[in-house]
Amino acid sequence: MGRARVLRNGVPVVELLAAKLRRQLQDGKARPGELITSEYDLARSEKVNRMVARRAVDVLITEGKLERRPGKGVYIRSLGTGTADPTPTPVQIAVVNFAGALWAGAARGAKAAALQVGARVQIYDTDAGLAADLEMIRNLPMTSVRGAVIISVHRKRFAEALYGLRAARYPLVLVDETLHDLEIPSVVADNYRGGYLAGQKLIERGHRRIGFLAYLGADTSHARLDGLRDAMADAGVPLDRSLVKGVRDTLGMGTRGEIGSAVRSMLGRPNPPTAVFFGNDAFAAEGCRLIRSLGLHIPGDISAVGFDGGEICRLLVPTLATVRQPIREMGVVAMEMLLARMAGGRKDEGGRRKAKGNGCGDAETRGQGGGPGDPDTRRHGEAPHGPVAGDAPIAAANKAQNHDSAWHRVLPVTWQDGESIGPAPAAAGDFTTKDTKATDSAREDAKNAKRNPAADVEMAGV
C-alpha cells in the first residue's frame, strides 16, 4: 500500500484519484482560487497514504489546473489576479526515482539554476506508474509548463513519448540519456571515459580478469563497457565476454536476485574474476553484500568498483572505489540549456549532426593517438568543463570533446578511490599468461570494430 503503483480494478490509484479531481473541477462548483482539498483529507477519504494523494495532486498541478499552497492546502489555479499566483509555472523537472539521493542531486542543481534567473520550478517524481508518467510527459505541451528537464529515463516507451514532445517543438533537455534517432538536447557524464578509468585503475593493481555487471537497457552502461574493454586492450589484456553480465532492470524488485545470480555465476567459473566493475554504486553495494555472504573478503579475495560517486560509497564497509559523475552540475547545465532554448537562444531544428551519445565517441576516434606508449597522448589536459583526472590515450579523452555541442553536453568524470580496490590476488598470475596471448586480437577488436555490446552479454537469470 505504501507504493503509488497500487492498483484498484487493475488501474493505478494515482490515475483514479487524478481523474476524480478533474471531475470535481469540471462540475463547476468550485471557482479559481478556491480551496478544493488538502492532501491529508484526500488521503483519508480515499483510504490511501499521503504519498499516493500527493502524486495524484501533482498530476493536476502539472496540467496547470491546481496549485499547492504550503500549510494551507490544494487550490484551483487562478488565471486572473485573485489570491492565487497567476504566473504560469515555466519549468518542470522530471526525476525517475526522486527517492534516490543520486538523481535528487541533479534535480537540486537544475532547480538552483532556474531560481537564479527567477524561473519557477515543479519537480515531478516519475515513479507513479508507467501509464501516469507517460500521460504526464505527453500532456506537457497542453499545460502551463513551458519546458522540462527529464532525468534518467532509459525506457523505450518513454522515448516514444519524448518523440511526441519533439514533434510538437516542446523545449526539453534529457539528463543521463541521449536519443540517437532524433535530435533532443541532452547532458550526460563521459561514461566511456569513466569505464576507461575504472579499467585502467584495476589493471594498474594487477587485475587481468575483470567482470562487468550492469543494466544494459541503458546506453550509458554500454559506453562504460566500451571504455573498460578499450582500457584492457590498450594494456594488452582481452576482456572475457563470459564475465559480462546484464540484468533486466535498474535496482528494484527482482533485480537483487539477478545481481546475486550474476555474481555467483562469475565466481563459480574455473577462472573467476579478481575484480568486478559494477555499472552503478547501488549494484556494487548489493554485489559486495553477496560476495561477503559467500565468505569472501573485499578486496583481499576480489576487488569491486562502482560508478556514480554518491554518498553510499563512503558508507559501505569497505568504502567503495568508484567513478564519480558530476551529478549536480549535470542538472545545472541541463537547466541552462533548457532556459536558453525557452528564451529563443537556439531553436530546436532537425537535420543537425547526430550526437553519438553518452560519451561513447565514434569509430573514427577509437584509433587516435599512440596509446599508453606515446608520451604525447598520455594526458589530455583541460576538457571543456575543466580537468579530467587520470592518464589515458587521447582517443578516450577526445570522445567528450568531439561530441560536446549546444545539443549534446558531455561532462567530465573523476576517479574516487576506496578501500574496495586492492592488488589482484596471487592467483591472478595463473590467468595473465593465458590472457596476454590474445593481445593483438583484443586490441584489434577494441579499436577497429564497433561491435554491438549486447552480443557480449550473458543476461543474469535467463
Residue 271: its pLDDT value, please?
A: 92
Chain segment 375-420, per-residue pLDDT in tens: 222 222 223 333 333 333 434 433 443 456 668 899 999 999 999 9
The larger pLDDT score, comparing residue 385 to residue 333, is at 333
Q: Is the pTM of this model over 0.75?
A: no
Contact status, residue 337 vs residue 93, Cβ threshold 8 Å: no
Residue 231: its pLDDT value, please?
A: 97
The larger pLDDT score, comparing residue 416 to residue 341, is at 416
Please enumerate in sequence order all residues whose Cβ is within 8 A of that of 64, keeping only pairs 6 or more positions apart, or say none.
77, 88, 89, 143, 144, 145
Percent composition of the chain: helix, strand, coil (DSSP 3-state, to 5): 40, 15, 40
* Separation between Cα atoms, residue 204 and residue 372, nearest integer Å: 12
pLDDT above 70: residue 160: yes
Chain segment 6-58, per-residue pLDDT in tens: 666 667 888 888 888 888 877 766 677 788 888 888 888 888 888 888 888 88
Element (H, E) at 88: none
Please tell me which of 87-96, 243-252, 277-286 the model is most confident about, judged by mean pLDDT. 277-286
pLDDT above 60: residue 310: yes
Kindly state the average pLDDT of the residues 67-91. 61
Contact status, residue 137 vs residue 150, Cβ threshold 8 Å: yes
* Separation between Cα atoms, residue 334 and residue 340, nearest integer Å: 10
Residue in the structure block whose three cell numbers are 462548483: 29
Pairing of strands 73-76, 35-37: antiparallel
Domains annotated for the chain, with CATH where assigned, are: 1-83 (1.10.10.10), 191-325+416-459 (3.40.50.2300)
pLDDT above 80: residue 348: no
Residue 401: its pLDDT value, please?
A: 38
Report percent pLDDT > 70 for the chain.
Answer: 68
Burial of 244 (0-12, 13-18, 19+ CB in 10 A): buried
How far is residue 381 from each of residues 14, 198, 344, 384, 385, measured CA to CA in Å? Answer: 50, 19, 34, 10, 11
C-alpha cell at 374: 606515446
Residue 441: its pLDDT value, please?
A: 44
Chain segment 204-242, per-residue pLDDT in tens: 999 999 999 998 888 899 999 999 999 999 999 999 999
Mean predicted lDDT score pLDDT of the chain? 74
Question: Per mean pLDDT, which range of 94-103, 183-192, 314-323 is the poorest?
Answer: 94-103
pLDDT above 80: residue 427: no
* Separation between Cα atoms, residue 284 and residue 214, nearest integer Å: 9
pLDDT above 50: residue 98: no
pLDDT above 90: residue 298: yes
The larger pLDDT score, comparing residue 124 to residue 286, is at 286
| Sign of the dihedral through C-alpha 293, 297, 303, 306 | positive
pLDDT above 60: residue 306: yes
Element (H, E) at 261: helix 255-267
